[in-house]
Amino acid sequence: MSYIAPIKDMVFNMEHLAGLEQVAQIPAFEDMGVETAQAVLEECAKLNESVLVPLNWEGDKNPSFFKDGHVTTTPGFKEAYQQYCEGGWQSLQHPAEFGGQGLPKTIGAACGEMLNSANMSFALCPMLTDGAIEALLTAGSDDLKATYLEKLISGEWTGTMNLTEPQAGSDLAAVRTRAEPLPDGTYKVFGTKIFITYGEHDMAENIVHLVLARVQGAPEGVKGISLFVVPKFMVNKDGSLGARNDVHCVSIEHKMGIKASPTAVLQYGDHGGAIGFLVGEENRGLEYMFIMMNAARYAVGVQGISIAERAYQKAVTFSRDRVQSRPVDGSMKTSAPIIHHPDVRRMLMTMRAYTEGCRAMATVAAAAYDASHHHPDADTRKDNLAFYEFLVPLVKGFSTEMSLEVTSLGVQVHGGMGFIEETGAAQYYRDAKILTIYEGTTAIQANDLIGRKTGRDGGQTAKGIAAQIANTEADLLKSGSANAKAMAARLKAAREAFLNVVDFVVAGAKASPNAVFAGSVPYLMLTGNLVAGWQMARALLVAEAELAKGNEAVFMQSKITTARFYADHILTKVPGMRDSIVDGADSVTELALDAF
Amino acid sequence: MSYIAPIKDMVFNMEHLAGLEQVAQIPAFEDMGVETAQAVLEECAKLNESVLVPLNWEGDKNPSFFKDGHVTTTPGFKEAYQQYCEGGWQSLQHPAEFGGQGLPKTIGAACGEMLNSANMSFALCPMLTDGAIEALLTAGSDDLKATYLEKLISGEWTGTMNLTEPQAGSDLAAVRTRAEPLPDGTYKVFGTKIFITYGEHDMAENIVHLVLARVQGAPEGVKGISLFVVPKFMVNKDGSLGARNDVHCVSIEHKMGIKASPTAVLQYGDHGGAIGFLVGEENRGLEYMFIMMNAARYAVGVQGISIAERAYQKAVTFSRDRVQSRPVDGSMKTSAPIIHHPDVRRMLMTMRAYTEGCRAMATVAAAAYDASHHHPDADTRKDNLAFYEFLVPLVKGFSTEMSLEVTSLGVQVHGGMGFIEETGAAQYYRDAKILTIYEGTTAIQANDLIGRKTGRDGGQTAKGIAAQIANTEADLLKSGSANAKAMAARLKAAREAFLNVVDFVVAGAKASPNAVFAGSVPYLMLTGNLVAGWQMARALLVAEAELAKGNEAVFMQSKITTARFYADHILTKVPGMRDSIVDGADSVTELALDAF
């Protein structure tokens, strides 16, 4: 069950679609261009391919284990985590001020993809630590930063996000965990949090919980939520660990996938109160949490790409090895490796096209993030921020939904062997299903896309993207190749469908919310399909140009074929989705409640 | 985790779509009309709801267990199987001559649906026995029939199908198991068979294996395969059990789903040879096996409907209970059960529409089967056979593929809880994934649809179905309601797309097989979508008429809404699929083999 990091595709995206050389001209990222990317990715691939890949199936067989309040992770995880930290991988995207390496997200996201391809269960621990770092950087006091950031950025300590409670899943307004202020400015925290990823484990000596809670007397709903740091062990002035805090793991979940990643139920304050430190100001917790969540949502989208890539590679290997039946075109008189059968090709190409399309979209989004945070020009920052924020629900929602189809096809390519656990394809199918759920279900992403990202500016960002797509269509027509013309036609049909839907959404969001929200997820899927397809169209143009220059013929020709496949087999879904969103709202909500 | 058999929908389909009263006029099925159906289904529901439903999750937690050649099934399965047999459920569709009840498939298939909804792992045992009975009825000698049929039909003994070998999955030409003729007319069988469902278990005292093998000196390929009965225990003249035969279970698989159902590796002849009895004539084994397989393929299609129904019911229950967030239309000032949220409705309606559409299609197919086997008029038999055989790959392929989407939505409706195994939704997701694989993968079904069912008669059956669909469109326009008109428009677009694809398939099947087979599965999915949608269109017309008569208002109104949803959200996928099949073949097979 090997894995080869797709470095060539990653660097192609960075260089030709995301403009990494422009990113590297931003002062904060000086010299962090294509060469740096290549070197970092190669180093990153080594660790992942040799250390983390072999532990992936092991983690499924020997999941994290709970006993007497302690969680023992899969054998080998602790040592691998140490190697991960020693290699400096936790610090990649974080500021040099606290010991980080300050790499752009454009490069860092590709490292995240590799890590998640290698071992998604393992990768969740660093991902959650990243979230905690982000929150502290954004809103933590100098004191909190000084106490926690270096240890988190080195990976010596890990972080968690504590949102969910038994009665409050997607609905944070329902959070009940309470915080009582103490005279010294700290708080005592009481409550139960569930679904806490790496909420307890044995890989690091301390765990820094970021916890949503209500200060006594706070307003109801989301406006009364504050964010607290609650460390597992208190930290002494000199940075050494002090007393055990009153937060305890009472159980971990028995899950369908990502079994090595412990999902904890945490009990706060059962023995007098857990000591918590306010992050930022009271009642602004949700705002800070959204900063963490936006980073985490992007990262989960990347997980979708990761697991799709892993499933694709496994399916390719199997279909080269497995000999079964003669080719339908009579080209061989004996049984052939199944990769010769057209339907196996269709499945592999579907997996490949989705994966490449979403990777390209995510890379472009990452570059926009980098520019939005670090570009010297304020207008450029603003434009990039709007673009990035529009893309986050697509990266999260579309890349994870497609990963369900891709991992399902991965099992399918294996036939009966795919259903046998030891084969490994089933694990990806089981693991992937969490991705459309955590960090906000696809419906939550779609609400974000409709509300904050489309409705709020009257569809302006959406239409701006459509205008850019129209430019790409013009470039395709200018190229004039059969592939470019076919792509242009599919892209045009999809873009026009998108514009119809944007008008529908903007017009109806307030007037007929049920009708608009009946099509929320289809709108997200349509838009993700289009934007990823647009990147494949841009890639096709680059590949044609590179091919003309005589560069990397096999890679460039494959990119063209994959883009064409995307146009013919994935973009073609879009007009039907428009019909269903624009004309089909009534039948979604019409059935009497008691008739279900 | 309860389940209520959808008897009302089943009887509606039988009565109004499948013409059960006409079936009941066939002499073989005299008086087996709607009243009989209602009575049988009610009785069947009792057993399933009370005995088999509670064992489903149990079977997932405590799967079948292998030790020293023996398989111990999940606690409770043995007793449940006894109740199943005592109730006469194994004998339902089998001939009275051997102790069966001779019910039409139109009714029997609905009982099969219930059994599989209740407990798919359990249901596999009777399903495989049905296949063995079918093979013996078709081709067994009088002696074999006398020895085995009554015991199989009573359920006292169970049956298996032994096709797959490690090197021969979908490709039966590669079968290597060999049979050496003995002077007394029996054979000694040697070989290894894998993936044998209920190949070993403790629920019955004997197991009757139907085994594909090659007689020494037989031609190569599929024309040299014969079919044998190999009983686990030899049967004495008086019907009592004799010596243990030389077929032994050496292991069972560790699977992603249907864990309670033991999937055996069987070793034939390791201790001198397993005694086998030829079924029919030498070298005609594949032909007989296809008879079993056609029945089994239909039955697996029904499993898709079963698991979809179960997942739907579970999701409905959860979404009524789970309170989370306020409705988007502001209609409630407090958090609401999530069934009030439009996207949850969309997911539930998608699950419902697919399930009802496929159930209707399967019921209509079953009635065609009954007429094709038992109608007194030869032409009627012939027409019905062609129709039934066209529908089998759709029932198998489309109903199981849709069950992947439906069970995935089932998990999604549950949010984070869906990923926790104890919730139960994940089991359906894991169980369903085998359905698109066993008894011929979706690609194998699609090859059958293209080759035997479309190409062979030059598209005549396909075009005949399109003509019938056009009649339904005319009826819809005559009705003139907004729903009927909308359905007519979607049906027309889908039918026209279907006809384009049929022309493409017929023209290209020989001339450009790679191009046609590149679209094989999409063709199957398009056609299944259309034919199930056609049945929903017919159901819509019936429901409008019944509503006008004042019958069953809630049910009929729901049927209309569900049909409309199907038109708006499922049939709308068809034109895009046409584009992808007809224009998109090249990009499927173009990528260089070493570029994957």
Contact (CB, 8 A) for B367 and B383: no
Place A169 in a pLDDT band, splitting at 50, 70 and 90: confident
B-chain CB neighbours of A497 within 8 Å are none
**Is residue A422 flagged as an active site residue?**
no
Contact (CB, 8 A) for A178 and A216: yes
B-chain CB neighbours of A557 within 8 Å are 592, 595
Say how far apart CA A510 and CA B283 lie, in whole Å.
Answer: 70
Residue A170's nearest CA partner among A293, A322, A28, A275 is A293
Residue B299's nearest CA partner among B60, B162, B443, B126 is B126
**Least CB-CB distance to A579: which of B195, B316, B572?**
B572
Choosing among B419, B439, B589, which should be mutated to test the A contact, i.e. which has the most A CBs within 10 A?
A: B419
Q: Do A592 and B554 touch (CB under 8 A)?
A: yes
Q: Do B415 and A441 touch (CB under 8 A)?
A: yes
Say how far apart CA B537 and CA B545 lie, in whole Å.
Answer: 13
Tokens standing for residue B321: 């209970």
Say how far apart CA B288 and CA B302 lie, in whole Å.
Answer: 22
Place B1 in a pLDDT band, splitting at 50, 70 and 90: low
How high does pLDDT run on average in chain A? Answer: 96
Place B290 in a pLDDT band, splitting at 50, 70 and 90: confident
Query: Which chain A residue shows the shortest CA-CA distance from B596?
Result: A316
Contact (CB, 8 A) for A136 and A160: no
Chain B nearest-CA distance from A256, in A, is 6
Tokens standing for residue A341: 């059968």
Residue pairs between chains A and B whose CB atoms are closer than 8 Å: 267
Domain boundaries, chain A: 7-64+73-151, 158-283, 457-596
Q: Do B517 and A342 touch (CB under 8 A)?
A: yes
Say how far apart CA B170 and CA B440 lie, in whole Å.
Answer: 7
CA distances in angstroms from A488 to A483, A525, A571, listed in the order given: 9, 20, 11
What residues of B act catalytically?
439
Angle at A565 between CA A560 and CA A566, to 5 degrees: 95
Choosing among A4, A329, A346, A450, which should be mutated to test the B contact, i.e. which has the most B CBs within 10 A?
A: A346
Question: Strands A263-268 and A187-197, how do they pair?
Answer: antiparallel
Place A289 in a pLDDT band, splitting at 50, 70 and 90: confident
Q: Do B514 and A554 touch (CB under 8 A)?
A: no
Say how far apart CA B155 and CA B153 lie, in whole Å.
Answer: 5
Mean of pLDDT values over A395-423: 98
Q: Do B330 and A561 touch (CB under 8 A)?
A: no
Query: Which chain A residue shows the shortest CA-CA distance from B557?
Result: A591
Q: Do B348 and A514 touch (CB under 8 A)?
A: no
User: Residues with Cβ < 8 Å from B196, sequence gap 6 or more?
Assistant: B160, B161, B162, B164, B209, B263, B264, B265, B266
Residues of A483-522 as b/e, b for ≥16 C-beta within 10 angstroms? bbebbbbbbbbbbebbbbbbebbbebbeeebbbbbbbbbb
Q: Which helix (H) or strand (E) holds B391?
A: helix B378-413
Tell me the one-letter amino acid at A251: S
Q: Do A419 and B348 touch (CB under 8 A)?
A: no
Choosing among B300, B346, B423, B589, which should be mutated to test the A contact, i.e. which has the most A CBs within 10 A?
A: B346
DSSP-assigned letter for residue B14: I
Main-chain phi, psi angles of A422, to 5 degrees: -60, -25
Catalytic residue, chosen from A134, A165, A401, A439, is A439
Residue B373 burial (10 A CB sphere; 0-12, 13-18, 19+):
middle
Token look-up 């990806």 returns A428
**Least CB-CB distance to A514: which of B173, B328, B587?**
B328
User: Residues with Cβ < 8 Å from B480, sequence gap 6 or more?
Assistant: none
Q: Do A554 and B592 touch (CB under 8 A)?
A: yes
- Neighbouring CB atoms inside 10 A of A141's CB total 14
For the domain spanning A158-283, the CATH number is 2.40.110.20
A-chain CB neighbours of B169 within 8 Å are 324, 415-417
Tokens standing for residue A116: 């998640």
**Least CB-CB distance to A433: which of B419, B518, B580?**
B419
Helical H segments across A198-341, by residue range: 285-321
Length of chain A: 596
pLDDT digits (tens, 9 = 90+) for A216-251: 999 998 899 999 999 999 999 999 999 999 999 999
Q: Which pLDDT value is given to residue A295?
A: 87
Say how far apart CA A110 and CA A309 lie, in whole Å.
Answer: 12
Query: Which chain B residue shows the shortest CA-CA distance from A561?
Result: B587
pLDDT digits (tens, 9 = 90+) for A536-571: 999 999 999 999 999 999 999 999 999 999 999 999
Residue A226, strand partner residues: A213
Chain A nearest-CA distance from B466, in A, is 21
Residue A66, strand partner residues: A71
Place A396 in a pLDDT band, splitting at 50, 70 and 90: very high
Say how far apart CA A570 and CA A577 lie, in whole Å.
Answer: 12
CA B89, chain centre distance (Å): 18
Q: Do A437 and B576 touch (CB under 8 A)?
A: no
Helical H segments across A18-53, by residue range: 20-23, 34-47
Is the per-residue pLDDT at B550 higher than 80? yes
**Least CB-CB distance to A436: which of B328, B412, B558?**
B412
Percent of chain B with pLDDT over 90: 94
Chain A nearest-CA distance from B22, in A, is 30
Residue A202's nearest CA partner among A56, A71, A62, A63 is A71
Chain B nearest-CA distance from A258, in A, is 10
Which class is domain A7-64+73-151? mainly alpha
Mean of pLDDT values over A341-364: 98
For the domain spanning B7-65+73-151, the CATH number is 1.10.540.10
How high does pLDDT run on average in chain B? Answer: 96
Is the per-residue pLDDT at A442 higher than 80? yes
Chain B nearest-CA distance from A345, in A, is 6
Strand segments (E) across A184-314: 187-197, 206-215, 226-231, 233-235, 241-244, 247-252, 263-268, 274-279
Choosing among B60, B321, B591, which should be mutated to test the A contact, i.e. which has the most A CBs within 10 A?
A: B591
Residue B349's nearest CA partner among A590, A583, A505 is A590
Which class is domain B157-282? mainly beta
Question: Strands A187-197 and A178-181, how do they pair?
Answer: antiparallel
Is the per-residue pLDDT at B167 higher than 90? no
B-chain CB neighbours of A426 within 8 Å are 256, 433
Residue B66, strand partner residues: B71
Choosing among A587, A589, A590, A593, which should be mutated to test the B contact, i.e. which has the most B CBs within 10 A?
A: A587
B-chain CB neighbours of A323 within 8 Å are 167
Q: Do A437 and B419 touch (CB under 8 A)?
A: yes
How would you classify residue A155: left for phi > 0, otherwise alpha for psi between -120 and 50, otherwise beta? left
Percent of chain B with pLDDT over 70: 100
Say how far apart CA A502 and CA A523 lie, in whole Å.
Answer: 9
Q: Which pLDDT value is given to residue B484?
A: 98
User: Residues with Cβ < 8 Å from A104, sequence gap 6 or more?
Assistant: A20, A23, A24, A26, A28, A29, A32, A93, A366, A367, A370, A374
CA distances in angstroms from A582 to A497, A508, A577, listed in the order given: 10, 10, 9
Place A255 in a pLDDT band, splitting at 50, 70 and 90: very high
Length of chain B: 596
Query: Which chain B residue shows the shortest CA-CA distance from A337?
Result: B593
Q: Do A437 and B426 touch (CB under 8 A)?
A: no
Contact (CB, 8 A) for B214 and B176: yes
- Alpha-carbon torsion (A5, B596, A11, A471), positive or negative: negative
Choosing among B12, B60, B328, which should be mutated to test the A contact, i.e. which has the most A CBs within 10 A?
A: B328
Query: Which chain B residue shows the shortest CA-CA distance from A579?
Result: B572
How would you classify residue B432: left for phi > 0, otherwise alpha for psi between -120 and 50, otherwise beta? alpha
Q: For helices A34-47 and A105-118, what crossing angle results, to 10°?
A: 20
Window from A511-515, B198-202, B228-232, B568-572 with minimum mean pLDDT: A511-515
Percent of chain A with pLDDT over 90: 94
Residue A179, strand partner residues: A189, A215
Residue B249, strand partner residues: B266
Is the per-residue pLDDT at A275 higher than 70? yes
Place A290 in a pLDDT band, splitting at 50, 70 and 90: confident
Q: Do B426 and A415 touch (CB under 8 A)?
A: no
Is the per-residue pLDDT at A170 higher than 80? no
- Dihedral Cα A152, A155, A161, A166, nearest 10 deg: -140
User: Residues with Cβ < 8 Å from A142, sequence gap 6 or more?
Assistant: none
Query: Which chain A residue shows the shortest CA-CA distance from B582?
Result: A568
Contact (CB, 8 A) for B193 and B162: yes
Strand segments (E) across B133-252: 157-162, 178-181, 187-197, 206-215, 226-231, 233-235, 241-244, 247-252
Tokens standing for residue B37: 């159906």
Say how far apart CA A309 and CA B128 lie, in whole Å.
Answer: 37
Place B355 in a pLDDT band, splitting at 50, 70 and 90: very high
B-chain CB neighbours of A591 within 8 Å are 345, 349, 558, 561-562
A-chain CB neighbours of B511 within 8 Å are none
Q: Do B346 and A195 touch (CB under 8 A)?
A: no
Say how far apart CA A539 and CA B484 lie, in whole Å.
Answer: 44
Query: Which chain B residue shows the shortest CA-CA distance from A349?
Result: B588
Say how far apart CA A40 and CA A34 lie, in whole Å.
Answer: 10
Q: What is the CA radius of gyration of chain A?
A: 24
Chain A nearest-CA distance from B368, in A, is 30
Q: Do A574 and B576 touch (CB under 8 A)?
A: yes
B-chain CB neighbours of A436 within 8 Å are 412
Question: What ipTM goes with this model?
Answer: 0.97
Q: Do A352 and B596 touch (CB under 8 A)?
A: yes
Chain B nearest-CA distance from A402, in A, is 12
More confident residue, A179 or A510: A179
Residue B107's nearest CA partner among B23, B3, B46, B47 is B23
